[in-house]
Amino acid sequence: MLPKTYDPKPVEEKRIALWESVEAPGAQTAKGSFVVVIPPPNVTGALHLGHALNLSIQDALVRWRRLQGARTVWVPGTDHGGIATQNVMEKSLKAAGETRMSLGRDEFVRRLRSWTEECRGTIRKQMKRLGAALDWERDAFTMDQDRARAVFAAFKALWEDGLVYRGERLVNWCVRCGTALSDIEVEREERKGRLWHIRYPEAGKGRDSGLVVATTRPETMLGDAAVAVHPDDARYRAIVGKRLTLPLVGREIPVVADAAVEAAFGTGAVKVTPAHDPDDFEIGGRHKLAAIKVIGPDGKMTAEAGAYAGLSREAARDKVVADLEAGGFLVKTEDHRHAVGVCYRCSTTIEPLLSEQWFVRMEELARPALAAIEKGDFRIFPANWEKPYIEWLRRLKDWCVSRQIWWGHRIPVWYCRTCYDERGAARRPDAKPQVGLEAPARCPVCGGRDFFQDPDVLDTWFSSALWPISVFGWPEETDDLKSFYPTDVLVTGYEILYLWVARMQMMGLRFRKSVPFRHALIHGIVRDKKGRKMSKSLGNVVDPLDMIPKYGADALRFSLLSQAHPGRDIPFAEDSLIGPRNFANKIWNATRFVLSNLPETPPAKPYAVSGGLELADRWIVGEFASMRRFLEEKIESYEIASAAGEIYGFLWDKFCDWHLELSKIRLQGEDPAAKETARGVLVCVLARTLRLLSPFMPFITEELLEALAPYVGRLSEEDLKEDSKSREEMSRVIEATSALRSLRAHLNVPPGRPIRVTAVGNGAAAESLKAQAPYLRFLAKIESLEFSVSGAKPAHSATAVACGLTFYVPLEGLIDLAKERARLEKELAKAESELQKIALKAENPEFLARAPEPEKALAHAARQSARDKKESLLRTLAELD
């Protein structure tokens, strides 16, 4: 016998062990296939609630399609996580008093490899505990051998097609991480800063000559190459072409006219520092200005900065400002809020830095991706993400893919020591780097035999971009690739839509000529209950592994899924696990009840739904059918939360509260045939509902289904029709029951005390209720129930009005006249306001003239019943004794 309260722990342990030992369902090709590739979590530690959400959604989809008979493939995996992972390792080294330099590259990478293995083990275990039905034999890692082969193949192909190039460009540099970043890896942060107004005097003239520039970064003035003004700016027309003396430095710089200058901002004159500002770099290019690097990769001032060399960016700023002020060049200082670029991994202010990097040319890659979304070959759910996605693809600039870190795929490029110096700078104009996994034998340019490999690694997102093809063995033309690519849906958060989703589209289209996934389901971020992002520093991180022992994995999944509206963030409160935990217990007990009403030894012929159905049976079967259809539609459109809510309501509010209760009449009764019918419906409907619920709550449902299995027989598809007639009849039973229960509660009739009821009224409703009298008797605990077409109110009775009938309940001695009058008056007031509202609509000539017929009929009927109710209440009040 099952325990009274559901205890998730033993069930989960048992199921996990069982799933471990059983092969995933084999090829059932009849109903097609469903392929999903996991967004591989970084190997930076344990999984968080966001991962739990992501996994729960995918698992629900995969299990759902598996139920439908599809061959499902869900590929697990992890991502080496580049900078993020390296940072984690560096932090732990620091705690041990070491640095990556002290370890050396080989040892550092070796340690990361071993950490990775440990971390992958943790992640796998966590995924299993959540119940994720992944195909573990396919487990992949972005830095394992197969994936490395794909990375090399992709790099080589892009190189050969001229889409990869090396060049000196202004890139986003994180001085803390010591590496270049791509544009999307830079986040914007509003910071309060200042706007310094600095006078740049005309060369050879006095302190008051020249013009005043406004800047937020005075320290970069040391590298100024010009001052720019707008060509149409009348204030400065005369000075364009003249030369200025750069304060503190003494260098002469020109005044140039450039349309990029915003005349209305600041003073309308902008200092141009090509080596330290992206816009200035552009201007510098147009006017052939020198790019003077005054800040180095370490964030400190270079030798070019003269007296400031060696100072940090921040210290140099202070000193420059002080010196400008001392020299009388500082005109004024204003407070100024502006957005500063910061590293997405460590929030350090980004330094635009001129350096030699590897880039991927994006235009040709983006074009097919744009076409795919515009043609609908690729769709995003919710669709409102499509517009920003398209915009992003249109504006795409080249992708800086080299990173000056150690953890990642080493760039497969070799430099000949004759053609290049040790820092990779070309010694001769025709020098050409060689792409290969190994050093080439001879340099095709100079015949040299001595090579060194590029020290940089590739952006971690480069390997991620190849994920949907690399997991199936690309560049080999594998069977997997042929059968499983393109995949069906990618489930991920909006925060990596550009960083990852767009790039997979581009690479998939480039190398496989078709989209890597037809749909992207974008879910939100799991936040804390105040709506803040979960972060270690805020201390508001909720660990899924803390929640599972307390509430169960099914409850955690169901909680997240119930809130997983496409694209919406989830403010997560631990309280949200209570409902789902209780729900699991409810299911458990419903099944326990059903089982307890079945013989211990399963019958030779399992219980089926066949003849002899009564209203409650027809009703629940019809409701089941409509619930199932709803679920199919919602899951099809990825509205997981709606689907979860629907099945919850069906099981609890319909199956348990009404059908199961009504079944008790027959189960406790004496009619063996009726008993069998009731058992059949209970078993079949419950089992089928559990099956539909299993994608959401796999542990408990599988456990219970296993217990039910020997009893479950057929519930034929023909019988699974929505049944509006039964729904209507049942709704009357429910309405009348509720009215009588309400009356009992208001008049404090103890629940255990039976009542006698006289129902007065005629018509179809009366007839149908009369037919269901046993239901009413049972549900409202009525000892005698009489129906009459007309009749006066019996003495000392309370009254309930429902379904066009008046129910009199004699309550000698129990009835408090004043209380009853008050209750009835309240009812009457409610009925009157209802009638007024509906009458206003039903009698409105405009409504009658223009509204569609069914709508009018509905309004008419509603008015009639509101009127009946009011009259019945009025009569009752008049007769009140």
Partner RNA sequence: GGGCCGUUAGCUCAGCGGCAGAGCGUCCGCCUUACACGCGGAAGGCCGCAGGUUCGAACCCUGCACGGCCCACCA
Return d(Cα 201, Cα 252) in angstroms, integer.
10
159 SS3 class:
helix
**Beta-sheet pairing, 252-257 with 330-343:** unpaired
Among 243, 287, 565, 675, binds RNA (CB under 7 A): 565
DSSP sequence for 486-534: SEEEEEEEGGGIIIIIIHHHHHHHHHHSS-SEEEEEEE--EEETTSPBP
Q: Between residues 165 and 593, which has the closer beta carbon with respect to RNA?
A: 593
**Beta carbon of residue 207, minimum distance to RNA (angstroms, whole number):** 22
Q: Residues, the chain, total? A: 881
Return d(Cα 267, Cα 213) in angstroms, integer.
6
For residues 202-241, one letter each, b for 16 or more C-beta atoms within 10 angstroms of the residue's C-beta and e for the rest, the string is bbeeeeebbbbbbbebbbbbbbbbbbbbbeebeebeebbe
Q: State how far the alpha carbon of 639 is from the alpha carbons of 67, 97, 130, 381, 630, in Å.
A: 18, 50, 21, 9, 11
Among 180, 255, 584, 621, binds RNA (CB under 7 A): 584
Query: Around 354, how many Cα atoms within 13 Å sit in the side-chain half-sphere?
Result: 20
Q: Between residues 72 and 872, which has the closer beta carbon with respect to RNA?
A: 872
Q: Which helix or strand (DSSP H or E) is residue 338 part of?
A: strand 330-343
DSSP sequence for 385-414: GHHHHHHHHHH---EE-EESSSSSPBP-EE
Looking at residues 141 to 160 of the shown chain, list those that interact with RNA (rule: CB under 7 A): none
**Beta carbon of residue 135, minimum distance to RNA (angstroms, whole number):** 32
Among 338, 427, 714, 753, binds RNA (CB under 7 A): 338
Decide if residue 579 touches RNA (CB under 7 A).
yes
> In this structure, are residues 692 and 631 in contact, taking their beta carbons and an 8 Å threshold?
yes
Q: Between residues 222 and 641, which has the closer beta carbon with respect to RNA?
A: 641
Report the 10 Å Cβ neighbour count for 337.
10
292 SS3 class:
coil
Long-range (24+ apart) CB contacts under 8 A made by 599-608 are: 602/710, 602/711, 603/711, 605/713, 606/683, 606/710, 606/711, 606/712, 606/713, 606/714, 607/676, 607/679, 607/680, 607/683, 607/684, 607/711, 607/712, 607/713, 608/680, 608/684, 608/713, 608/714, 608/715
Among 245, 563, 758, 799, binds RNA (CB under 7 A): 563
**Beta carbon of residue 641, minimum distance to RNA (angstroms, whole number):** 7
**Beta carbon of residue 540, minimum distance to RNA (angstroms, whole number):** 14
Size of the site for RNA (CB under 7 A): 96
**Beta carbon of residue 221, minimum distance to RNA (angstroms, whole number):** 10
> In this structure, are residues 795 and 747 in contact, taking their beta carbons and an 8 Å threshold?
no
Decide if residue 291 touches RNA (CB under 7 A).
no
**Beta carbon of residue 664, minimum distance to RNA (angstroms, whole number):** 7
**Beta carbon of residue 741, minimum distance to RNA (angstroms, whole number):** 4
Decide if residue 395 touches RNA (CB under 7 A).
yes
Decide if residue 849 touches RNA (CB under 7 A).
yes
Q: Between residues 327 and 531, which has the closer beta carbon with respect to RNA?
A: 531
Name the DSSP class of 349: B
**Which x/- pattern over 529-548 shows residues binding RNA (rule: CB under 7 A)?**
x-x-----------------
Closest listed residue to residue 697, CA positions, set 572, 546, 560: 560
Among 514, 540, 738, 864, binds RNA (CB under 7 A): 738
Among 60, 342, 660, 683, binds RNA (CB under 7 A): 660
**Beta carbon of residue 260, minimum distance to RNA (angstroms, whole number):** 5
Among 45, 571, 794, 810, binds RNA (CB under 7 A): 571
Looking at residues 672 to 711 of the shown chain, list those that interact with RNA (rule: CB under 7 A): none
Name the DSSP class of 42: B
Among 410, 838, 872, 873, binds RNA (CB under 7 A): 838
Among 191, 387, 449, 714, binds RNA (CB under 7 A): 387
| 35 strand-pairing partners | 73
Q: Between residues 19 and 236, which has the closer beta carbon with respect to RNA?
A: 236
**Which residue do the tokens 């487990």 mark?**
139
**Beta carbon of residue 276, minimum distance to RNA (angstroms, whole number):** 9
Return d(Cα 383, Cα 203) in angstroms, integer.
58
Q: State how far the alpha carbon of 817 is from the alpha carbons of 130, 753, 827, in Å.
A: 58, 20, 15
HEC sequence for 759-783: EECCCHHHHHHHHCHHHHHHHCCEE
Decide if residue 858 touches RNA (CB under 7 A).
yes
Q: Between residues 473 and 761, which has the closer beta carbon with respect to RNA?
A: 761
Please identify, among the stretches 335-343, 483-491, 609-617, 808-816, the one whose residues bind RNA according to the rule CB under 7 A.
Answer: 335-343
Please identify, among the stretches 126-134, 249-257, 431-439, 561-569, the one whose residues bind RNA according to the rule CB under 7 A.
Answer: 561-569
Looking at residues 772 to 831 of the shown chain, list those that interact with RNA (rule: CB under 7 A): none
Looking at residues 268 to 287 of the shown chain, list those that interact with RNA (rule: CB under 7 A): 268-271, 277-279
Looking at residues 747 to 776 of the shown chain, list those that interact with RNA (rule: CB under 7 A): 748, 750-752
Please identify, among the stretches 20-28, 434-442, 510-518, 847-855, the one whose residues bind RNA according to the rule CB under 7 A.
Answer: 847-855
Closest listed residue to residue 695, CA positions, set 221, 256, 65: 65
Return d(Cα 536, Cα 82) in angstroms, integer.
20
Among 453, 514, 589, 610, binds RNA (CB under 7 A): 589
Looking at residues 620 to 659 of the shown chain, list those that interact with RNA (rule: CB under 7 A): 641-642, 645, 652, 656-657
Looking at residues 481 to 540 of the shown chain, list those that interact with RNA (rule: CB under 7 A): 494-495, 498, 529, 531
Decide if residue 851 touches RNA (CB under 7 A).
yes
Q: Between residues 125 and 568, which has the closer beta carbon with respect to RNA?
A: 568
Amino acid at 35: V
Looking at residues 58 to 117 of the shown chain, list those that interact with RNA (rule: CB under 7 A): none
Decide if residue 577 touches RNA (CB under 7 A).
no
Among 573, 764, 822, 857, binds RNA (CB under 7 A): 573
**Beta carbon of residue 742, minimum distance to RNA (angstroms, whole number):** 3
329 SS3 class:
coil
Looking at residues 185 to 224 of the shown chain, list those that interact with RNA (rule: CB under 7 A): 187-188, 214-217
Decide if residue 664 touches RNA (CB under 7 A).
yes
Per the rule left: phi > 0, alpha: psi between -120 and 50, beta: everything else, 162 is left
Among 176, 592, 691, 867, binds RNA (CB under 7 A): 592
